Structure formats: structure tokens, C-alpha cells
Amino acid sequence: MLMAADGEYLAHVYYGKKIPDEALVGIMRFDESPFTPATNNRDRASYLDTLPLEYPCFGIGDYREPVLRIHAADGTSTCDLRYKGYKITEGKPALEGMPATFATEKSPCNTLEVILEDKPAGLEVSLFYTAFEQLDVITRSAVIRNVGEKDVFLTRALSACVEFDTHELDMITLNGSWARERAVERCRLHHAKQLVDSCKGESSHQNNPFVALCEHKADEDSGEVFGFNFVYSGNFMAQAEVTQHKKTRFVMGINSIDFSWKLGRGEHFTAPEVVMVHSDAGLGKMSRTFHDLYRSNLIRGEYKDKRRPILINNWEATYFNFNTEKLIDIAREASKLGIEMLVMDDGWFGHRDSDNSSLGDWFVYEKKLEGGLKHLVDEVNKLGMKFGIWFEPEMVSPDSELYKAHPDWAIRIKGRELTMSREQYVLDYSRKDVRDYVYSMMKKILDSANIEYIKWDMNRQHTEVGSSALPADRQKELWHRYVLGVYDLMERLTTDYPHILLENCSGGGARFDPGMLYYSPQIWCSDDTDAIERLKIQHGTSMCYPCSAMGAHVSDCPNHTVGRNTPFATRGDVALVGTFGYELDVTRIPQQDRDAIPGQIEKFKKFNPLVRTGDHYRIGNMFEDNTWDAWMFVAKDKSEALFEFVQVLGRPNERSRNIKLKGLDPDAYYYEESKPEEKLSGAALMYAGVNVAKMWNVDGLYGDFVSKTLHFVKA
């Protein structure tokens, strides 16, 4: 709920559980010192430093974190936005050149546009709020226009600010690093500022653009939670600030480090979208709301509501050491087992036999792929399998024809040594000529053979950020222009090839964000494919991203990242949560594991509709107890449920576990599929629980890393 305080200052009144449309001006404390400027103009600065402003600016007496800061033509930074008007429209406008949620017939919405102005600065700002009628979701974005006569530079342009009338909140973030992405971290807010951000040019392995603020007592199933997710794939910041009066200001948007945007006369800047979710029933309900929104109102394309092909990727099977014959051998054996697609990973182009050359040379390495790409694809298709291919379109190797011809196409600062990472540089995607050239090469490959899947990778972050094509006063725009360039190329790709399944990847999970989900219905969750490590990674990812979007594979053992050995069945059960596939050499694994693949595939096909469309419930939590994990998927009509359990570590001299299920109809009766004669009420299963050992017809669980799935059906 918003209001124009004194008819001028847009203030935040209330955000939380739905209440009747009532006048809540009383909670604003206008009858307390320092009073409003209309009453006490001598203390306007104190007033603005306490008012819960909806889009706070720098330089007017509000010393809390600003959302908007400028560099005006006279060299000053002050901005003072005043309320001008509003309008309400049905539906939801698109964001220019950027991903955003959208309305559907099944999920209608309405949009409020609030217009603010700063006449001396010549600025007008439109704040957009879209409320989805069937979900506790509000999305926010902003458009900033120069309506004056002189140039204005934006030095900060965040997307959202929310004021909370309390400091008694916990902050939950998803942090980590390569191979251990999106670990859940929870801490209490304290006076001053707590921030997560990225200045790497991507949303990053280290901090995901997600934050939840919640009551101290909130858990999976109870308590008030406010979730925030930034629909953007570049630098971001999300910050909670506990103020001197024990209130909390939360802001989210593009990171202002090294950011500037020149607004000439008549020009505008669009700030990306923030998705806000409210839950009055804990973290679980927040997550399920995010999942429902993204599955129906963010993910697009042919695979939006379809099961994804079961693929086998050759990366961990061969790395760079493969040829046509080897790939066909893998495909031949995989096709016999029911695998539906072969994906050829890194190493098929230029003269690439290791990761030190050829990025940017997107033509076939004929020495490795004898007979050419079409021959390989045709042979794979003859086996009844689809074919997919790996690209890293944003990068260039120093040892490449592209870089030798166009060294200025790399992001760099003239006169400075360019830092290499993974022996590669980043292409300047702010330049249309660069994007056009790369896309033309990709298009030649895609048009040359029946390619039905692309894995789009991005394996390094930005350094020495500069562009040979931008003037000096626009150099700091490169960070954002780069992201817009990536979006532009992905939009072209998905428009020209709507039947191709696009999976995003960035050294694993460094760009697992809603911006990427807009273009690809799945994202490689992590380069760490170990089943036990994935329990944490997939748990954290599910805080706001649907499980159907998690790229998850069964890989070889000992695992290539951590060296752990886990049962083949457990690897399959953990990958069942995501898109499911294989990351191994199927011609070399033990016969026992090979024989298990058809059963795993049948199981995935059976339960994937429930995983893709059902409600996800987290039961275990490896961040709190690393000896076991469990989760459920429950049909929307509560007619069936899939329960999965993993015993991570065996326990000496311990009683068996009773685990309480979630999400069932308490008044209905259910049976486990293998025991139709034994019926229990949903209430009993949820409130008393099930004994996981007894459900397996064993006296107890023995050993480490063992798993089991149970399918409950309404009687």
C-alpha cells in the first residue's frame, strides 16, 4: 500500500498479508515529531530521514540507502522525486530488451504505474507494480526518463525498495562458490547494512540474486516470509539496512559499482524486474509460489510444459579426447538403454584439443569429427536419438582466428594488460557487429545438421572492463550493455530456432537466475554432479527456482569433483529431482550400473509430470543435519505424492526414523503403491509420520548414501 505524503512524497505504507482496503494512514506516525513538512517544514530533513520512502533518492536528507543517484549537468548528485500521478492497466507491459514475467489467461494480472518527477533535474520516473491475482506476487521495475534539456548521468538506478516497520527479521541468502553453489545461509539482521552482491559481470557462483527476509520463528511451514528475486543475469546488489529507529529498508537492483548511464534529452533507462513473494506459511509456501510463477509466467517455448529429452553428455566421459567413432559408440550403447539424446560437449570446433584455444572459431574441427558434423548427427539420428551441441558464444581464445583478426572485439582497456582466465577473454557483447558475427557462425552450424539442443556455457568473469566502441562518458554502461547483448542473442536464437532446447550454463551454476530462465527452461545446476553434494545444491536452488529447471545428471564414480563413491541407484534418485540425464561413458561403466539405466529412465518418465507440475516440499535439511535428507512432490489436486529419502550416513545404535510427510489431504486416505492393501489417512502420514525403515520391509537402514522413493496414491 502506497500513499503520497503531503501530496508530494511517495511513501510505503504496508506490505504483507492481504487485508481489506482500509485507510492505514494512522500507522505512518504523522502526528509524531518531526511531523510532516506541511506542519513543520523547518525539520524537513529529519522527516525525510524517517519517512518510509518508496523510491528514495540521494541528497535530500534521507541518509539511508538510496535507490536513485544522479550526476547532473552542474556536477551535483541530488535528486528529489515528487509524486505526479498514476494509472492502472490490465495485464503487464513487457520490459524493453529484457526478460520479465508475463500474464497468461490462467494467471491474469493488473499493473499500477506511479509517476514521479524531479523538475529541476528534468527527470521523470515511472514505477511499475504488477499484482498477480492468483499468487501472492508483486513484480516491480522502473523506467527513468530525461525530460529536460541537458544530459543526466545515472550513477545508481535500483529497481525496488521496501520498508519494514521492524528490525526483528532474519535474512536468508544463497551463497557459495564453484561446485558448491546456492548454499543456504541465515542470519539475524542487526544495525547497519547487510549486503549480497556480484560485480563479476554475471549473477555469480558466490551470491545468487535472491534474498528472503522472515520472522525469527519462521521455518519451512510457518511464519511470515518476504522473498525477493532479481530477474537479471549481471551485476546486482541486494541489501537490508536496519536504521537508527529499528526499521528495515531493503533495496535490490543493478550493482552501482562502476555503473553509470548517460541519459540524453528524451532518452530513458529501464531498470530490470524484481519479483516479490509474500508467504504467511513459511519458506515452503514462498518457494512454491516462486515455482508456480516461474513455471507459468516466466519460462517460455516449446519445452515450457513438456518433459525434457533424457540426454547423455560426453564431457565427463571423454573430456576433449573424442572423435566421431567414439561418440557414435556412446550413442549406440545409450540408445539401447532408452537414452534419447547425445550431447557433444566442448572440443568439436577450431583446433581445440584442450581449453587453451579456438573459442570464437565456431567451425567444425574436421580432424576430430571425420566426415563432418552432419555425418555424425545423421548417424546418431539413425539410432533413434536426438543430437545436441555445446557452445561458449560469449568468449574468445587468444589462440583463435577470430581474436587474431579482431583483438578489439574483446572487452579490454587500451594500454592495460588484459587478464586471462581459463586462457580466454570475453567478447564485447555491447557491440552489435560482434553479436552478429558470432550468431552468423552459430547459425551456420545449426543449419548444417539436425541439432535439437544447445548447451550455452560461460566460463569466466569480467576484468579490465572497457569497450573500443563506446565513448569515454559511456564506458561504465558496458556492464549492463553486455547483459543486454547476451539477452539479444538469446532472443534471436530462441526465435529463429523455437524447437531447439536451450540449456544455460556458466561454469556450472554461476548464472542460475530468472533472467536466464526466460530464455532457457533449464539451467545446469552445478558442475558438481556428486549425488551427496547435490542434495545441498538442489535444496538451496529450490528456495526460489523450480526443480524442473535444474539440470541434473547421473555421473560416474569415483565422482570427478570430490572422488566420492555412491550407489548408482542413489545417483539416479537424486537426479530424478531435476531434468535427468547421464554424464558418463556408458560403454565403460560396470554392467550392473548399465543394466539399471532402463529402470531409472522408466522411473523418471513416470514421475517427471509430478516433478514438473506438483508442489515441492522440503522435509530434510542437509545444512542443519547432514546425516539424511528427504523431500516430496505432491500433485496439485493431492491425488498422489512422490516421497524421496536419502540416508547420507549410517548410524550406530540408533532407532529408525519416523518422518512426517507434507502437503497431503488430511481427510483422504493414501496407500503406498507397492502396498495397496495398507491405507493410512493423510493426517496420520503428516502428523504421526511414516517409519522409513518399515516402509522398505527391512529391519533398518544399513550403510551410507542409500536412497528410496515411495509413491503415495489417494485411495
The residues that bridge with 185 in the sheet, in sequence order, are 173
Neighbours of 707 (CB within 10 A): 22
Selected catalytic residue, list 457, 513, 556, 615: 457
* Closest of 406, 521, 396, 417 to residue 459, by C-alpha: 396
Coil/strand/helix, residue 694: helix
Rounded to whole angstroms, how far apart are CA atoms 110 and 87? 11
Selected catalytic residue, list 80, 346, 527, 528: 527
By the 8 A CB rule, do 568 and 583 touch? no
Q: Report the C-alpha dihedral over residues 612, 626, 560, 361, rounded to 10 degrees.
A: 50
Neighbours of 474 (CB within 10 A): 16
The residues that bridge with 239 in the sheet, in sequence order, are 251
CA 170 to chain centre: 21
Side chain identity at residue 404, one-letter code: K
- Cis previous bond, 652, omega within 30: no
* Closest of 369, 331, 326 to residue 349, by C-alpha: 369
By the 8 A CB rule, do 282 and 219 touch? yes
Which secondary structure element, helix H or strand E, spans residue 395, and what is its range?
A: strand 395-396
Given the C-alpha cell 512422490, which residue does it identify?
A: 642
Rounded to whole angstroms, how far apart are CA atoms 173 and 207? 8
* Beta-sheet strands, E only, within 558-705: 581-583, 615-618, 628-634, 640-647, 658-659, 669-672, 679-681, 690-691
Residue 457 designated active-site: yes
Angle in degrees, 0-180, between the axes of helices 324-337 and 591-613, rounded to the nearest 10: 70
By the 8 A CB rule, do 187 and 171 touch? yes
By the 8 A CB rule, do 80 and 92 touch? no
- Residue 493, CA distances (Å) to 142, 389, 454 in order: 27, 14, 10
Residue 62 designated active-site: no
Which residues are known catalytic residues?
A: 457, 527
